[in-house]
Amino acid sequence: MLGAALQLLGIEHLLGRAVGSLSGGERQRVAIARALATQPKLLLLDEPLASLDVARRREVLPWLERLRAELKIPMLYVTHSVDELARLADHLVMLEAGQVRACGPIAQALVSQAVAQAIGEEAGMLSTGVVLERSALDHMAQVDLGGGARLWVRDQGLAVGQTVRVRILARDVSFTLSEHADTTIQNRLPGVLESIEADAHPSQALVRARCGQALILGRVTHRAVQQLGLAPGVALWCQVKSAALIL
């Protein structure tokens, strides 16, 4: 098991190194390998990146993603980072003052009112998609979210057919009742409004719209909701200013 853990975490070359010479990211990977060597039935990771700077977090995250993808061991991951949740979690349980505030599959939980209010500016949707095509001219890639919903994102060299996670922040979403072509916003998805709920600030509303198989969350003002006559069942267009591709 130890040999497999060393290979999985890419730390075979560290075996001859003194502990004092290891970087913070390398130490974290060594600690995880030591835990895996005991052949645990459950792996508990309690804020494993909290003590690392941004550069070291970026170093360790891909290895944690690899653990999630390749290990058959259930992982309980404790974190305050929404970015880590979006990359690693399949199921979310949000705790506040010892009480469960939200619970469910990650894609559903992130667009819930409780989670969106709690994480503020980082609120948004998460969806799984497949890379359909790549444009060498524009350095963009098109991702199919299912049901006809497709997004253009920055090309990161992914292979056509590869499954990816896509994250869209609520602040990067706007809604219109008709499609507008004279705009720099390239991603315009037809959808149906599913729900409108109150946000943490009384001026704001959380709007959820179904676009194909994707459920998109937008944060808009109650004034805009009233002016456009938005209500559940209304057909609209979701304009996505920016979408993040999570490998």
Question: What does each of the 247 residues of the chain score in pLDDT, given as a tens digit?
Answer: 556 666 667 777 777 676 777 777 777 777 777 787 778 889 898 988 887 778 878 877 887 888 888 877 899 999 999 999 999 999 999 999 899 999 999 999 999 999 999 999 999 999 999 999 999 999 999 999 999 999 999 998 889 999 999 999 999 999 999 999 899 998 999 999 999 999 999 999 999 999 999 999 999 999 999 999 999 999 999 999 988 877 6
- For the whole model, what pTM was predicted? 0.85
What is d(CA 112, CA 206) in angstroms, rounded to the nearest whole number? Answer: 9
What is d(CA 48, CA 222) in angstroms, rounded to the nearest whole number? Answer: 39
| The predicted structure's pLDDT at residue 27 | 79
Handedness of CA 109, 114, 116, 122 (dihedral sign): negative
Are 135 and 63 in the same domain? no
- Could you tell me the residue range of the domain that residue 63 belongs to? 2-118
Contact 140, 152 (CB under 8 A): yes
Are 87 and 160 in the same domain? no
| The predicted structure's pLDDT at residue 239 | 96
| The predicted structure's pLDDT at residue 1 | 54
CATH number where 98 lies: 3.40.50.300
| The predicted structure's pLDDT at residue 52 | 77
Are 37 and 147 in the same domain? no
Residue at which a domain ends, from 95, 118, 141: 118
CATH number where 220 lies: 2.40.50.100
Are 184 and 87 in the same domain? no
Q: Of 97, 100, 99, 45, nearest to 67 (Cα)?
A: 45
| The predicted structure's pLDDT at residue 243 | 85
Residue at which a domain ends, from 61, 92, 118: 118
Are 126 and 242 in the same domain? yes
Residue at which a domain ends, from 118, 144, 159: 118
Could you give the number of structural domains in the chain?
2
What is d(CA 236, CA 75) in angstroms, rounded to the nearest whole number? Answer: 39
Are 130 and 66 in the same domain? no
Are 19 and 88 in the same domain? yes
Are 196 and 165 in the same domain? yes
What is d(CA 232, CA 192) in angstroms, rounded to the nearest whole number? Answer: 8
